[in-house]
Amino acid sequence: MTWTGGTSRTSQVTVEPAQGATVTFTGDLTENASWVDLENVSMPGQSWAIDGPTHNVTMGGITAKTFSITSEKTGGAANITVQGGSYGPNHAYPDNAINSNGTANVNTSITISGVLFHDQYRDSADASDHFECLQVWDANGLTVQNSKFTNCDVFDIFMQRCDPSACGASTTPPTPTNVTIQNNWLDCCTTAASGSVVYSKNYAIMFATDHSEGTWSNVTIRNNSGDDKINLGTNQSDPQSWTNFRVENNALPRIDDWQDTNSSAVPGGVTVQYNEWFQGAPVGSHDLAGASPASLFKNWDGGANADGKQDFHEVAGAATVGAGDPNFYPATDIDGNARVSPPDIGASQVAH
């Protein structure tokens, strides 16, 4: 099913079930009508897509297999909000993606908030399928917040640029920029597909450097909690620079350097401070390290991969309480509770 139109409107039209009713779509939806707010629709086993230049669209409370937001030769998607709902299970490519269809046009102003990403993993033993809960390679202005990720291959969030050698130098969008990732639970990641493909390096958040990214700029990763690492790149030999890239107030095992040597080194141009690296060493000023994760989170299962049982709510008395950057934090936590200064490290805030 494909929806089009809305180009002459200047305000959103809401499409939702009647009070007390339940609406289920039995097929995929291409929502290419601008100025539409689609609410509380179930799409079990199905996917939805938005293609540029569609703009001013909210997809709220949707239950589906996957979604995609794609720039087209006629333009990029703009002012798209994915609010609430859940996506999964899905065991075959494609994964959830913010991407491009052979154009240099850019998707702008994308917000993903309060979403559950779950059970996005391959049943196939084909290791060439790079599978994530969320893959991004075309965005200027992206916020991923207040969301929960569990049971993902290979990363929870994979940020990259489409390699010009594959996409074409004249049709490749620029490196994603103006990105905020905050207040998320990152229960990461599966290590095998059908017991036959094992991945030794999984990351909650991965920023690639081997697709001609050039510069990662204007990126904030703050107040996230989880059981796997942040990785900034793949190899030091990649021509790469980092500008206004901040990693703060996170409660995560470790941040990997761009050579994957687990040394906790980070490239120049990246600010790292006020984090709790509970399986690593302090990296920047005011970083904490070495706390038992069982003393930080309400339900710590030993870091079992992707079982969906971990509760990353902070516990009272944790080392992370009031230990965040007093001048740099979201106004609320993953549950909508107000933060105070200094804030707690991690996705949630306890009363204090």
The CA angle 13-19-22, to the nearest 5 degrees, is 90
**Cβ–Cβ contacts within 10 Å for residue 299, how many?**
11
- What type of residue is 136? V
In a 3-state reduction of DSSP, which class is residue 68? Answer: strand
Element (H, E) at 165: helix 164-167
What pLDDT is attached to residue 21?
95
Query: By the 8 A CB rule, do 341 and 326 touch?
Result: yes
Does residue 239 have a cis bond before it (omega within 30 degrees)?
Answer: no
Question: How far is residue 233's CA from residue 214's CA, in Å, rounded to a whole number?
Answer: 11
pLDDT band at 218 (very low <50, low <70, confident <90, very high): very high
pLDDT band at 201 (very low <50, low <70, confident <90, very high): low
**Phi, psi dihedrals of residue 170, rounded to the nearest 5°:** -85, -5
What pLDDT is attached to residue 306?
53
What pLDDT is attached to residue 25?
95
- What type of residue is 315? V
Provide, rounded to the nearest whole percent, the portion of the chain with pLDDT above 90: 70
**Cβ–Cβ contacts within 10 Å for residue 268, how many?**
6
The whole-number average pLDDT for the span 258-287 is: 83
* 126 Cβ neighbours under 8 A, 6+ residues apart: 197
- What is each CA distance from 29 to 32, 165, 244, in whole angstroms? 9, 31, 38
pLDDT at 31 over 50: yes
**Per-residue pLDDT tens over the stretch 148-195:** 999 888 899 999 998 887 788 788 999 999 999 999 999 988 754 444
**Per-residue pLDDT tens over the stretch 76-128:** 999 999 999 999 999 888 999 999 998 999 999 999 999 999 999 877 656 56
**pTM metric for this prediction:** 0.95
pLDDT at 142 over 80: yes
Domain ranges of the chain: 88-314
